[in-house]
Chain A
């Protein structure tokens, strides 16, 4: 049995269904992220685990014990808030020791535990500071220590890094992951930042409009999106309309050119499908093959699709150069990403170009389409 189990969870606010048919089984020590846009129900689900909201239907069990109707102060669940929520009238040590004092632990034990946690969050000697004397990053570390002090069964983090600067955010998320691994605590993390979710999580639950779109490891979520929402929300994606030519052979027509996919197609010839291509999976060469602008990481896979196009413009994004191209008579935009290097010879806007990608990189989207995991996993292994 899973350590944290949410079964058939639903939450309605009047006529509005905030969360529907939510099922999740997280193992002990697992780091699970809820990822989705604002209003998708991720925070509501987290608040139901904490006990601040009561599910309209379904049950929540922690370590085999049903806590669905238990008060939040009886659940022993640690929570870290976006706004830190440190008690302004208490210093750092009192904030961290607050939960332990409620549990009537001896003063010596409280002091020892507070010192341990201050060391864990690298704020030794700052126990007598008040929250307003600390930076945002330090305050959030104290909030984390306060939540960990009570040795919670589950740690819940509600967009804890959203209010911080970009650099501090990156540093602190490494710290959170390190502490979580060190303590082996089951953690649920809510974020709308895909980079955060991909870096931190053992598994990601992608949500949209109160429903789970996909549950999987960061690798699965990024490389094998189950729905067009997941594909478009996680990472940058080129989504294009194509027509099935021969479903059994995986042949499609895109912008007047025939391409192949390894995804299994369910539909007859002439049916419309949406295909997805990650920008970094596309190779870019000049028509005569003399200048290679971008190389697909899946180069050398079973054959290659080729689409002639035109360079529309080029965006320099630091480590990555994003080339916007157009293909076909309707000038369908296709983004191509390549790593920046000082010798990169990017063709000028308006230059003809050829886009190449292997059939394995060509994903077909939709709930009804099941990607061929055998081929896809083989492709992933080849990449690694």
Chain B
């Protein structure tokens, strides 16, 4: 009995060794698919990197070749505009989070039927162009009782308000995705039964668990703010994008160098977000991108 059993087992192993794991027909089918995947991948890489290589090559036409890059470090306007854009970006992020976290939380917890309407409102910046938004802001806030455009701080405040609106689709979606990953009803009720009020629930229970989602939303908001041109131009704000545009008229090589440096800074920001999100169990996901 045992002998025959062993024999059968041995035959089975031999048969398995004789067989290929992938039948030949399947391998033939796989090869063109694999080739297609590689072709798409190479096309994608080319599509993304060719403009960068072109920009880099153009920036090196300056004489001497490195002069476009050294000029950036010597230009105080570069640091001033970039610094201003970052400050405006951070204020935008703080206001956006303060507005949208309680809204998204309340909608998910108590007003699930209002969710489609809130989503529609947050998507409006995709429908209404920035030029319409900025004209609306200027016509409303350039005369009493709210003459925002009469002062520098007022104009910057208008710029931030405009950017907060622009950030809605990205920030709301990031927060909503983060909230969807949690059982917010049970967490809220658990905190309430332990004696917690609404503010403590938001700050100590909801916000810490939204860390990765908030970082994703914040990054997208910062990227939009640094690249936004229309609203800043009409409000006469000296932001980074306006500086970059003006540079094109007087120093095209330097403009290419600045574009590449800003691209590098974007990558550093992404790395920073990934680093901050490493402690969390959930991965950083960028949501709501256009």
Contacts and interface: CB of A to CB of B under 8 A. Distances in A.
Contacts of A88: 182, 209, 281
A81 B189 contact: yes
Interface in A44-95: 50-52, 71-79, 81, 83, 85-89
B281 A72 contact: no
Interface stretch (B169-177, B192-200, B215-223): B192-200
Contacts of A75: 193
Nearest to A146: B194
B186 A81 contact: yes
Contacts of B191: 87, 98
Contact of A150 (B186, B195, B197): B195
Contacts, number: 66
Contact of A99 (B183, B194, B281): B194
B211 to A, nearest CB: 8
A85 B189 contact: yes
B209 A89 contact: yes
A167 interface: no
B187 interface: yes
A171 interface: no
Contact of B196 (A89, A102, A132): A102
Given A52-B189, A83-B186, A87-B187, A102 B195 contact: yes
B193 A77 contact: yes
Q: Please indicate which of the listed interface residues B189, B194, B197, B204 has the most CB atoms of chain A within 10 Å of its own CB.
A: B194
A99 B190 CA distance: 10
A147 interface: yes
Nearest to A79: B193
B208 interface: yes
Contacts of B197: 73
B194 A102 contact: yes
Nearest to B186: A85
B189 A50 contact: yes
B52 interface: no
A85 B187 contact: yes
B259 interface: no
A77 B192 CA distance: 10
B193 A147 contact: yes
Contacts of B192: 51-52, 71-73
A89 B201 CA distance: 12
17 contacts: A52-B192, A73-B194, A74-B195, A75-B193, A79-B189, A79-B193, A87-B190, A88-B209, A88-B281, A89-B205, A89-B208, A89-B209, A99-B195, A102-B194, A102-B195, A150-B194, A150-B195
Interface of A: 50-52, 71-79, 81, 83, 85-89, 98-99, 102-103, 132, 143, 146-147, 150, 156
Interface of B: 182-183, 186-187, 189-197, 200, 204-205, 208-209, 281
